[in-house]
Amino acid sequence: MIRLHRLLIPISIILTVTLACNTPAKVQPSPSAFDGIETLSPSPVTSAASLTPSPVVTRSSTPSPTVTLTPTPEGCERPPDDYTRVTLRDGILLNQRTVWMLEHAQVLYGGTLDFLLAVTQGSYNPGVSASFGTHDGGGAVDLSMRDLNDFNHVLYDEANQMISGLRHAGFAAWVRDVGILYDGSPLHIHAIALGDAELSPAAQSQLTGPEGYFRGMNGLPDNTQPDVHGGPILCPWMIEMGYSDLRSP
């Protein structure tokens, strides 16, 4: 028995050594070319269900209101409130407001006729039956249409320019043809200054009465006809003074 035990010990030692020799050794990795380079960790995948949707902006179906601006007619300058009386010549009277308006109209007209020199009847001239009392107060004026350098030449071809300049400057103005007021009455332009504080009642009626400028008429109470020069010119300052387009729709 003792001998057998002694034989077993060497055998166990041999087996242990043999197993140890047959076990592969752990291999240490060699340095890599990527050592020292930071590697990126993959970003976490976000599921579509976890996303919070942005608020949706809904356009209103109601359109914004459109603002339409009415263009101001050319030359719309409010005249000064100066009623100092001015004598042109031969006793012809106007107030300074009317003189300013005539000078402004002259610029807008731009033609050959000098409006101040062409005045044949001014304001503050009562008792003229053919004028219906329109010249009794301020703001009324009559202008010749004759070329002042050639009295035989009538400026028919500039009539529309004259009327346009006068109206844009603030006058209700019409051409009065030969014989329209009485037999042989001369060709001329009749004009009433809008907003004049010293207008006669007859002159006021030529603006807003049945024959009136703002009603699209010719200003003649005894022969009322549609205005052949077109509709009235309305400037902002006229509207501020209470004037409006009174023509029937």
Q: Indicate the average pLDDT of the chain.
A: 80
Q: How many residues does the chain have?
A: 249
Instruction: Evaluate if residue 69 carries a pLDDT over 60.
Output: no
Residue 74: its pLDDT value, please?
A: 85
Residue 110: its pLDDT value, please?
A: 96
Residue 80: its pLDDT value, please?
A: 98
Cα 239 from chain centre: 16
pTM, two decimal places = 0.71
> What whole-number distance in Å separates Cα of residue 157 and Cα of residue 150?
15
Mean pLDDT score, 218-246: 96
> What whole-number distance in Å separates Cα of residue 177 and Cα of residue 27?
126
Domain boundaries, given as residue ranges, for the chain: 85-240
Mean pLDDT score, 235-246: 97
**Amino acid of residue 157:** D
pLDDT band for position 151 (cuts 50, 70, 90): confident
Number of helices (H), then strands (E), in the chain: 5, 8
Nearest in space to 161 (alpha carbons), one of 118, 113, 109 = 109
> What whole-number distance in Å separates Cα of residue 90 and Cα of residue 94?
12
* 180-226 per-position pLDDT tens digit: 888 989 999 999 999 999 999 999 999 999 999 999 999 999 999 99
Beta-strand ranges (E) seen in 64-107 are 85-87, 93-95
- The answer to whether the CB of 139 falls within 8 A of the CB of 95 is yes
Instruction: Evaluate if residue 134 carries a pLDDT over 80.
Output: yes
Count of beta carbons in the 10 Å neighbourhood of residue 89? 9
Contacts of 186 (CB under 8 A, 6+ apart): 144, 178
Beta-strand ranges (E) seen in 44-96 are 85-87, 93-95
Instruction: Evaluate if residue 119 carries a pLDDT over 70.
Output: yes
> What whole-number distance in Å separates Cα of residue 230 and Cα of residue 216?
7
Residue 128: its pLDDT value, please?
A: 82
> What whole-number distance in Å separates Cα of residue 34 and Cα of residue 38?
9
Instruction: Evaluate if residue 43 carries a pLDDT over 50.
Output: no
Residue 25: its pLDDT value, please?
A: 44
